Structure 1
Amino acid sequence: MESTILSNDLEKNITLISSNAPANFNFKTRELILKDNIKCIIIYIEGLSKKEDIESCIISPLLSKIDCDINALLSPASYIGKRYITINDIELSSDVNVISKNLKKGKSIILIEHDNTAIICNTSQSNFKKFAESKIEENIRGEKSAFVNNLHINVSLIQEKLKNNNLKIELYTFGEENNCEASLIYLENTIDPDVLNKIKSKLQTVKTSYVPDTGYLMQFIEKRPLSIFPQSKLTEKPDKVVSDIIQGKAAIFVNGCAYAIVLPVVFVEFFQAFEDYSNRLILANFDRFIRFLALLIILTASPIYLVLIKYYASLIPLNLIKIIIISRKNIPLPPFLEILSMELLIEFLREGGLRLPSTIGQTLSIIGGIIIGDAAIKSGIVSPTTLVVTALTVISTFLIPNYEMSLSIRLLRFYILILAQFFGFFGIFIGLFSIFAHLINLDSFGIPYFSPFAPMRFKDLKDSTVRYSLKDTNRIPISFIRRKIKNKKNE
């Protein structure tokens, strides 16, 4: 990279530095008038730099302790840095690239009038000391930190991990009553301009009196808020947000909420875990296979069991049908109500466990399920085979990495179960076909929701239901760079 050198013009130097660093809302400048009316500018990035050090070790000495004639100094920056700046780690540089690189690390830059040298002061602070523990998204590998309720800390967490000149952070205010701050973060050279314009236009049309969190805001900007499938992704993990931003997506933070919105999204990524890319190829693909198998079990296990024992008992092997007949002896409920009651009971326990303190909630979910299941079998209300099928379905829901998608799939199993009750296997096919039709017809801010399968993007199949080696996968999925594809076709 060709280096640019500072000049003796203070205003020009500020322009040079700001053009080589992401000049977002937290890019701060502080002007000082030193002895003999010499101008001085301090540049830093709020959130990455420690304000206490800037005030005590830079501003205070510059304003109160300088007693020499600055105009008479051959190199004011060198002399002031050595004599008055009390920070233990300083560096002198005239290279704009070096200055910009250090600025993105949280260091403060001091520019003095009529001097072409900048003082670089190490005022950086780590915001990972302020992180919260992850409560929902557990990673086997990777960092354990999660976002907090402070917007500026969350933004600085992203900036610490993604030191890029193209990183843009735009500030918004929502809610006529609470004036809640929110920020939109993206890589300017990576995100598709059409997608970015759609996101911005949606954010600008949000009119409401109160915005408490990201989930509330998302319902105002989604194209189809009544769809059962999430058209954005909520996450509490900084590393996931950084990974998605690099892939050409945007993230939205709302002050007071410890979750980020990632958009646009596609269906298949809700079944991909962050550690898939850290594990070896065969292990990662095995984990993905298990998740998609769990999806199939959730949607079809109970309906197929219902259809077989109600309409097609002759298809069940003889030894197995004998066990089912014995287990269902003297059961008062028909198969449909038996399965439905157990499915609802599990949902009651799960929802109840979420509303209680974590220790008590886990005890309720585990002990409550064991006790009630055992009592239901002994009392003759539910058969053991029905309980096994229901338990298999419930366990499978835990394999879906994303909580919102897990909720959607859990609800869809009731939809297919009802269709199976009235139409048999044909009802299961109707349910699955209608789900696929809806997925194909859905989009997330202009990106086809069922991509890369519909429309087919062969290059993106390398990181879909299976994962190829990392060197063969696209850093930016083809699905998220539609304009670049159009331009190439036009050329």
Structure 2
Amino acid sequence: MRKLKIRKLLANKEPLKQKLHLEQKKQETKNSQRLYSNLEDNLCELKDQFSNCSDVVLRPLSINGHKALMVFIEGIIDTSSIQLHAIHQVLSEWKNEEVTIETLKEEIVAVSRVMETDKMDELIKQVLSGSTALLVDQAEKTLILDAKGGIRRAVSEPETETAIRGPREGFTENICVNTALVRQKIRSTRLKILLKEVGKETQTSIAVLYMEGFAKPELVKEVLNRIERIEIDGVLESGYLEELIEDSPWSVFPQIQNTERPDTVAGNLLEGRVAIMVNGTPFCLIMPVTFWQFMQATEDYYHRFHIAVFLRLLRVAFIFIALLLPAFYIAVSTYHQEMIPTSLLFSIAASREAIPFPVFVEAMIMEISFEALREAGIRLPKLVGQAVSILGALVIGQAAVEAGIVSAPIVIIVSVTGIASFTIPRFNMSITVRLLRFPFMILAAVLGAFGIVLGLLILLTHLCKLRSFGVPYLSPVTPLKANELKDIFIRAPWWAMRRRPNELVTGNIRRQSSNLMPSPKKGSDSLD
């Protein structure tokens, strides 16, 4: 009886499967539909596909009595280039009675990049991407003219990664401009740029950049495989890809670096890393990364190494202050008063005499208020935001102390903590540290110094387990590689950094020759 029921269910499902198969086959047939030889049929199909699309222009032409059609979208093409090098050329330069696609392509149209297609879906895809299609009556193929343009933001200095010394140019929202900026930095045939499309509806163009012979082939293959697996309606920013291709999505720590600077991308490519650019955003993704990269600024490599060493050690010290200072104050003032000098303890006790809240509550009030002020300063217009951030912190802090809501020491603690978080060069790591500050404050309020130590052990265990495209997150500190510590806590002189990181490169590990240390004795000519 059970077998009979199963057979009936399967029999009922067969027509549904066949129907779905037929629908899929119809869709594939429609997508692979060839162009009609009759221009009127092609025009009807295009009008059907682009119905209610007011920005699509269907421009009819007559070439010596032969009907033609030009299809493009206003605003995303270079109108002057199409008018001068396509429409004007076709209407004025054509002398022959016979009209062929080959002749148009080779003799008449003066656009630099021209391709042919005989598929309707490819024509529509190229038009939506910013190209222009030229159809001729009784021709089996159409010409695709690459004249992308429209209003674009000019190359300017990136606002999120300002530098005292170094290039002032940053990426824009145009992927072609961004790849050109990197190509200007690395003028080598080893620089490879692979173009892909992600997003069923947006069909967003992305570019994968790597140095052939530097980046490991398995790394490049893994990046491409993770991109190929993505099935999503749209990708509007590189943050979409970052969440879809990272190793540990539940970790609060960033496992992919983002940057607006072409020199940062070029430097990482030369070390064997891979970069991903997404059309429509100035932020480029770099992978794999380690924790120490987020402590390094681009201009560290432009200053003399003495300055870079001082700044890096300062950042390492201040990241602990940004993470642990409020928690340490809560633990000491609540559980471990014997650790505070007597005179300072009396001062803290006097300032807290009229405060109705425990230390943990007043610390949370000030931290949340500070974060809210910082967020308001970002969201408001630039000039107003700066005034709100500075005046708000001063006025609210002073008023809260005078009103007896919080004590003066906690205002100092929160201010120093905020300043320390600003020293972290990368925003995604800075906001991670700001977020982790609150769990440490809770642990300190519940368990005191033991809670801080417990939190640090959990955090270090998590960091040791993290990977970024197979590379340990704390490499080369753990696992320890002493020969690669020249560019971690300190920045060795350029003449001392002769090798690239072992984790990233294949066989081309040598960066420079071994005798570059400057010395007057090496000069061949006397200065006398």
TM-score (norm 1): 0.72
Indicate whether 1:169 and 2:201 are aligned: no
Q: Counterpart in 2 of 1:227?
A: 251
Indicate whether 1:401 and 2:431 are aligned: no
Indicate whether 1:372 and 2:416 are aligned: no
Structure 2: distance between partners of 1:293 and 1:319: 26
Q: Any conservation in 2 of the 1:457–1:478 contact (CA below 8 Å)?
A: no
Q: Secondary structure at the match of 1:480?
A: coil
Q: Counterpart in 2 of 1:35?
A: none
State the shift of 1:188 in Å.
1.1
* Equivalent residue in structure 2 for 1:357, among 354, 365, 381: 381
Structure 2: distance between partners of 1:190 and 1:316: 54
Per-residue deviation, residues 332-361 of structure 1 (Å, max 9, x unmatched)? 110001111111111101111111111111
AA at the equivalent of 1:265: V
State the shift of 1:166 in Å.
0.9
Structure 1: distance between partners of 2:507 and 2:345: 57
Q: Counterpart in 2 of 1:339?
A: 363
State the shift of 1:276 in Å.
1.1
Q: Secondary structure at the match of 2:258?
A: strand
Q: Secondary structure at the match of 2:197?
A: strand
Structure 1: distance between partners of 2:499 and 2:171: 25
Q: Counterpart in 1 of 2:221?
A: 197
Q: Any conservation in 1 of the 2:213–2:508 contact (CA below 8 Å)?
A: no
Q: Counterpart in 1 of 2:131?
A: none
AA at the equivalent of 2:380: L
Q: Counterpart in 1 of 2:468?
A: 444
Indicate whether 1:154 and 2:211 are aligned: no
Q: Secondary structure at the match of 1:478?
A: coil
AA at the equivalent of 2:264: K
Structure 1: distance between partners of 2:182 and 2:285: 13
Q: Counterpart in 2 of 1:277?
A: 301
Gaps of 5+ in 1: 1-50, 65-127, 486-491
Structure 2: distance between partners of 1:197 and 1:337: 51
- What aligned pairs does 1:104-123 form with structure 2 within 5 A after superposition? none
* Equivalent residue in structure 2 for 1:479, among 492, 498, 503: 503
Q: Any conservation in 2 of the 1:194–1:483 contact (CA below 8 Å)?
A: no
Q: Counterpart in 1 of 2:517?
A: none
Structure 1 residues 482 and 376: alpha-carbon distance in aligned structure 2, compared to 1, 3 A threshold? farther
Q: Secondary structure at the match of 2:181?
A: helix
Indicate whether 1:212 and 2:236 are aligned: yes
Q: Counterpart in 1 of 2:311?
A: 287
Structure 2: distance between partners of 1:425 and 1:286: 30
State the shift of 1:483 in Å.
8.1
Structure 1 residues 483 and 335: alpha-carbon distance in aligned structure 2, compared to 1, 3 A threshold? farther
* Equivalent residue in structure 2 for 1:433, among 449, 457, 460: 457
Q: Secondary structure at the match of 1:275?
A: helix
- What aligned pairs does 1:32-43 form with structure 2 within 5 A after superposition? none
State the shift of 1:484 in Å.
8.2
Structure 1 residues 129 and 331: alpha-carbon distance in aligned structure 2, compared to 1, 3 A threshold? closer
AA at the equivalent of 2:362: E
Structure 2: distance between partners of 1:197 and 1:457: 26
AA at the equivalent of 2:183: Q
Structure 1: distance between partners of 2:470 and 2:217: 11
Aligned length, in residue pairs: 369
Gaps of 5+ in 2: 1-79, 94-151, 510-528
Q: Counterpart in 2 of 1:323?
A: 347
Per-residue deviation, residues 429-486 of structure 1 (Å, max 9, x unmatched)? 111111111111001001111101111111110110112121222452122137889x
Percent of aligned pairs with the same amino acid: 36
Structure 1: distance between partners of 2:189 and 2:506: 23
State the shift of 1:371 in Å.
0.8
Query: Runs of at least 4 residues of structure 1 off by over 2 A?
Result: 481-485
Q: Secondary structure at the match of 2:328?
A: helix
Q: Any conservation in 2 of the 1:460–1:479 contact (CA below 8 Å)?
A: no
Q: Secondary structure at the match of 2:281?
A: coil
Q: Any conservation in 2 of the 1:457–1:479 contact (CA below 8 Å)?
A: no
Indicate whether 1:188 and 2:223 are aligned: no
Q: Secondary structure at the match of 1:169?
A: strand
Moved more, 382-391 or 280-289: 280-289
Indicate whether 1:142 and 2:129 are aligned: no
* Equivalent residue in structure 1 for 2:323, among 299, 307, 311: 299
Structure 2: distance between partners of 1:418 and 1:434: 14
Structure 2: distance between partners of 1:281 and 1:172: 39
Indicate whether 1:243 and 2:278 are aligned: no
State the shift of 1:237 in Å.
0.7
Structure 1: distance between partners of 2:387 and 2:498: 44
Q: Secondary structure at the match of 2:390?
A: helix
Per-residue deviation, residues 373-406 of structure 1 (Å, max 9, x unmatched)? 1111010001000110110000000000000000
Q: Counterpart in 2 of 1:73?
A: none
Structure 1 residues 151 and 475: alpha-carbon distance in aligned structure 2, compared to 1, 3 A threshold? farther
Q: Counterpart in 2 of 1:421?
A: 445
Q: Any conservation in 2 of the 1:397–1:410 contact (CA below 8 Å)?
A: yes
Q: Any conservation in 1 of the 2:486–2:492 contact (CA below 8 Å)?
A: yes
Structure 1 residues 216 and 305: alpha-carbon distance in aligned structure 2, compared to 1, 3 A threshold? same
Structure 2: distance between partners of 1:479 and 1:412: 29
Structure 1 residues 189 and 363: alpha-carbon distance in aligned structure 2, compared to 1, 3 A threshold? same
TM-score (norm 2): 0.67
State the shift of 1:187 in Å.
0.4
- What aligned pairs does 1:19-58 form with structure 2 within 5 A after superposition? none
State the shift of 1:250 in Å.
1.0
Q: Any conservation in 1 of the 2:471–2:503 contact (CA below 8 Å)?
A: yes
Structure 1 residues 434 and 136: alpha-carbon distance in aligned structure 2, compared to 1, 3 A threshold? same
Structure 1: distance between partners of 2:201 and 2:186: 34
State the shift of 1:363 in Å.
1.1
AA at the equivalent of 2:353: K
Q: Counterpart in 2 of 1:348?
A: 372
Structure 2: distance between partners of 1:413 and 1:470: 36
Q: Secondary structure at the match of 1:130?
A: coil
Structure 2: distance between partners of 1:414 and 1:481: 39
Q: Any conservation in 2 of the 1:459–1:478 contact (CA below 8 Å)?
A: no
Which protein has the larger Cα radius of gyration, Structure 1 or Structure 2?
2
Q: Any conservation in 2 of the 1:168–1:186 contact (CA below 8 Å)?
A: yes
Q: Any conservation in 1 of the 2:214–2:506 contact (CA below 8 Å)?
A: no
